[in-house]
Every structure is written in C-alpha cells, then in structure tokens.
Amino acid sequence: MANSTGADRRNLLKLGSIGLVAAAALDVHRAAAQAASASLLRTVLDRGKLIVGTGSTNAPWHFEDTSGKLTGMDIAMGRILANGLFGDPNKVDFVQTAPEARIPNITTGKVDIVIQFMTISAQRAQLVNFSRPYYVEGVALLTLPDAKIKTFDQLMAAGKNARVSVLQNVGADDLVHQVLPDAQVMQLDTQANVVQALQSHRVDGAAVDLSTVRWMVKQDPTKYADSGMHWQHQLYGAAMRQGDLDWLQFVNTVFNVAMFGNDTAVYDAAFKEFFGEEPPVRHPGFPMI
C-alpha cells in the first residue's frame, strides 16, 4: 500500500464500495438458497420468523414491562438475531420456557434457539451448542446506600461482625468466604428472601448476581447500592441444537457484529437500559472479540 498510486487507492475504494452495495443487495431468499438444506438457518429463513425460547419473570433478563410487553437483555438479543435474519427485529416469536425445559425444547425442535440467561458449562455443551458469550455474569454484594456498612472495604473491616445473606445452596458459605473469609453467612431459600434480609437490616450485604445488583441500583439508587465487589465469573450464551454448523456460525456472526462490529446501537442501548452501564468503547485495530 505504501507504493500504491492515487489511482490504485481510488480503485481499491471503488471495489470496497461495490462490495458494500453487493452485500446490502443480498436478500433473504438468496441467503436461504445458499444455506445447507439440512441447516436450521435455511428453515428459519424459509419460515420467515425466528422462534426463541426464553422466560418472562427474571429482570433484567426477561420480564414484562408495565404495559405487559416482554423485554429484557435476553429479549434484546433475540430481536438482534431476528434483525440479522430478516432486517426486522419484530419477526420473532418468544416461547415461554421453564429452566428445566431449555435443553429439551432445543433438542426436540420446539424452538430454534434458547436465549434465557443460560450459563455455559462443559456439561451442557455435551448436549447443545453455545453461541459466543453475550454477557459475563458474576456474584456481587448488594448493600444499602444509607447503611453504616455499605462498601466492600467496610464489610471486610467488619470481619466476623459482617453479615451476608445468600441463596441456599451447597457451597454457599464458601462462595461468600472467598471474598469475606470472616463474615457470618445467612443462607435463605429464595432470592427474594435474600434481598429482604438486607432490606430489614438483618444482614449488611446480599450476595446475588451482578446483573441483579446493577438492575436494582439502576431502578432506585436511593434504595440499593453496589458494594464494589464482583467475583466468580460465569458466561451467558444462547443455546442451539448440535450438529448444525451453519446455524451456529450465523448466530455467532450476528452477535459479534452487534457487540463489536458496525451495528452495536441496539446492544449498547439494551446494556445501558438493563445494567445502567455504558459498554466499553470499541476502537478500530486489534479485535476485541
């Protein structure tokens, strides 16, 4: 390129422009014809709509807003995928899926894909294909903004006097003690009770999902606070039927473009709306994906 003439550069730019026009001219029917006949990609394109398995009761991932419309980060990812398929984010049906039915609904073909805050694991990957991660979940400590103990440093300084609620589970005490080795741990049977223990001042902090902390603080920063400690990463990805490389590659391509490419507006807006944070700025050059 250093020895290219001005004419050479103009020709290259012209070729690039032609490529962009050609890409824009591709339609759904042509794409369907090029997909492997056995691929779900071809089936979905021929059908004219996407079928997504998800939930409706877990903000900020999937829940009904005040008008009864399904919304949340999982819903945004489903609409991003529909837009990648058809140029229309509304060409998608959301099927209510219980957590235990997520994998069966994929393997039986009831849904094309499950987008339902599903943690990627080696065990699950033996049964389904996972997309690239679209969120990195973690554990965080929810606190009260007007409490004497509300930051992680204050919780650490409190030592054995610090009290933390957490969802009842094998290893729940160890989970808290990873970051607060001397804290008293209160295991409770539901997430609602974990938060209620904090609201009633029976504990100084509630160990819940990072996404939950960000959502609750965004909804009412006068009522909830983020202590500043986040740990134990988990990856959330969309799940698909195994044995279909075309479909998997397509979903990954759409997600990559939406998160790191030239069409990030919808993902960024959803991330800010549901987590109260601006995604990091993407800079041309070294790929972030």
Q: What is the pLDDT of residues 214-270, one digit of tens each?
A: 999 999 999 999 999 999 999 999 999 999 999 999 999 999 999 999 999 999 999
- What is the tens place of the pLDDT at every residue in 48-65? 999 999 999 999 999 999
CB atoms within 10 A of CB 265: 9
Q: How far apart are CA 21 and CA 99, in angstroms?
A: 43
- Look up residue 23 and give its two tokens: 């890409």
Q: Which two tokens stand for residue 198?
A: 């904090």
CB 206 within 8 A of CB 165: yes
C-beta of residue 162 within 8 angstroms of C-beta of residue 183: yes
In the chain, % of residues over pLDDT 70: 87
Checking if the pLDDT of 200 tops 80, the result is: yes
Number of domains within the chain: 2
Judge whether 59 and 66 are in contact, CB under 8 Å. Answer: no
What's the rounded Cα separation, in Å, for the pair 212 and 242? 31
| Mean pLDDT, rounded, for 157-171 | 97
Give me the CATH number covering residue 151: 3.40.190.10
Type of residue numbered 244: D
Mean pLDDT lowest among 36-40, 103-107, 248-252? 36-40
Of 214, 267, 238, 278, nearest in space to 54 by CA: 238
Q: How much is the pLDDT for 17?
A: 43
**Shared domain check, 170 and 49:** no
Domain of residue 244 covers: 34-134+237-275
Q: What is the mean pLDDT of the chain?
A: 90
- Side chain identity at 97, as an amino acid letter? T
Task: Kindly state whether residue 29 falls inside one of the protein's structural domains.
Answer: no
For residue 3, pLDDT over 70 is answered with no
What's the pLDDT band for 12 if we cut at 50, 70, 90?
A: very low
Does 28 map to a domain?
Answer: no
Q: What is the pLDDT of residue 288?
A: 79
CB 143 within 8 A of CB 198: yes
Instruction: Specify whether 221 is located in the same domain as 267.
Output: no
Pair (252, 179) in one structural domain: no
C-alpha 175, offset from chain centre = 22
Q: What is the mean pLDDT of residues 28-39?
A: 64
Mean pLDDT confidence for 71-100:
97
Residue with tokens 């390129």, as numbered in its chain: 1
Report the distance separating Cα 118 and Cα 124, nearest Å: 10
Contacts of 254 (CB under 8 A, 6+ apart): 80, 81, 84, 85
